[in-house]
């Protein structure tokens, strides 16, 4: 062991070589990882839809191979060449090229550039930070951007699509904590009671939705956080009230959006793109403070659906890609 870092440790690594596209648990040294001036002992990571795409090759996520998977990590600094962090500091990192351009958080130890690490804010544990992870950060960024264009609770309810997933369930709880009324759209009717427990005042089956075909239909909601995209997003543009905003943060339902300019120039709605992976550092710090304070979800224990180790990831990824995700899955590394 050197500087509190074992010579070898476990990681979930993704390959694409002469033996094909695959992911497996390996043993590696810290010198085999991407460059960085801080090493953390990872306590927890999490499972996101993007992680499932990356590990299975169903989506073109990785830009270089091999890389460790996992776009999130929370842990404790064990070595630092940065003035900003010292041994023993607890930190969080989400996105920032993890499991895309550089090694990610599915590793017992992780080397990263200090410029991307956020100090764990008071009010959150490492575990809670990863129940939130990219999903919670995305939901918070969605609300932050909506507020930046004037969205207020007084305008009316915000509808959340894909509500039973990680982003959706956390968005409902975060909106409620921030003083907004949240309503849910989900195809999983057996989870409606759970969504009500998280704060949803109304749950709507996506199977029963009919948007109408006119460029503008009767307005139902003051705004939306949409993790589905495709026809769902197109439909939402026709039913948002004047001056409302839609935060577009996912594309599980497709990348095409068939709409008109009418909602934007007649009702003045805003369509906001949510890029959580590339969010500027100053905004990251603000959002993590919100997530630890006034926007902290009240039901993290209910939103955490499962906990797995590295050896349980393959099954979880398959379930996620089959549309079976519920809430958040935590990955324990320590």
pTM across the whole model: 0.95
pLDDT of residue 3: 65
User: How many CB atoms neighbour CB 120 within 10 A?
Assistant: 20
Peptide bond between residue 298 and the one before it cis (omega within 30 degrees of 0):
no
* d(C-alpha 87, C-alpha 83), whole Å: 11
Output the six-digit token pair for 310. 């590295």
Q: How confident is the model at residue 161 (pLDDT cuts 50, 70, 90)?
A: very high
pLDDT in tens, 5-58: 999 999 999 999 999 999 999 999 999 999 999 999 999 999 999 999 999 999
Place of tokens 């010579």: 7
1: pLDDT strictly greater than 80: no
Mean pLDDT of 275-289: 96
Inter-residue contact 165 to 251 (CB < 8 Å): no
Phi, psi dihedral angles at 233 (to 5 degrees): -65, -40
Greatest Cα pair distance, the chain, in angstroms, is 66
Mean pLDDT of 86-100: 97
Domains of the chain, earliest start first: 9-120+299-332 (3.90.180.10), 135-273 (3.40.50.720)
Mean pLDDT of 157-180: 97
Mean pLDDT of 226-231: 95
* d(C-alpha 48, C-alpha 32), whole Å: 25
DSSP 8-state secondary structure symbol assigned to residue 232: H
């Amino acid at each position: 062991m050197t500087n509190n870092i074992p010579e070898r440790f476990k990681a979930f690594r993704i390959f694409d070589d002469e033996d094909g596209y695959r992911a497996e648990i390996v043993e590696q040294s810290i010198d085999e990882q991407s460059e960085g001036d801080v090493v953390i002992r990872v306590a927890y990571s999490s499972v996101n839809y993007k992680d499932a795409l990356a590990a299975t090759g169903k989506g073109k996520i990785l830009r270089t191979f091999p890389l460790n998977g996992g776009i999130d990590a929370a842990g404790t600094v064990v070595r630092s060449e940065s003035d900003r962090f010292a041994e023993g500091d607890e930190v969080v990192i989400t996105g920032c090229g993890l499991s895309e351009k550089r090694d990610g958080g599915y590793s017992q130890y992780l080397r990263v550039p200090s410029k991307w690490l956020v100090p764990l804010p008071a009010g959150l544990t490492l575990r809670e930070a990863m129940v939130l992870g990219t999903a919670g950060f995305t939901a918070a960024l969605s609300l932050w951007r909506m507020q930046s264009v004037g969205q207020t609770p007084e305008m009316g309810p915000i509808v959340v699509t894909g509500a039973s997933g990680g982003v959706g369930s956390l968005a409902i709880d975060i909106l409620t904590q921030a003083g907004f009324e949240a309503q849910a759209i989900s195809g999983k009717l057996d989870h409606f009671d759970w969504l009500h427990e998280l704060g949803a005042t109304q749950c709507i089956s996506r199977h029963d939705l009919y948007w109408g075909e006119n460029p503008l239909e009767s307005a139902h909601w003051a705004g939306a956080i949409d993790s589905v995209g495709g026809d769902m997003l197109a439909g939402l543009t026709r039913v948002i009230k004047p001056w409302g905003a839609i935060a577009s943060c996912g594309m599980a339902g497709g990348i095409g959006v068939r709409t008109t300019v009418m909602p934007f120039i007649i009702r003045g709605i805003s369509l906001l793109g949510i890029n959580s992976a590339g969010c500027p550092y100053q905004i990251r710090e603000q959002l993590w403070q919100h997530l630890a304070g006034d926007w902290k979800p009240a039901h993290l224990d209910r939103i955490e659906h499962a906990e797995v180790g590295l050896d349980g990831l393959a099954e979880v990824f398959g379930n996620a890609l089959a549309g079976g995700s519920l809430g958040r899955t935590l990955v324990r590394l320590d």
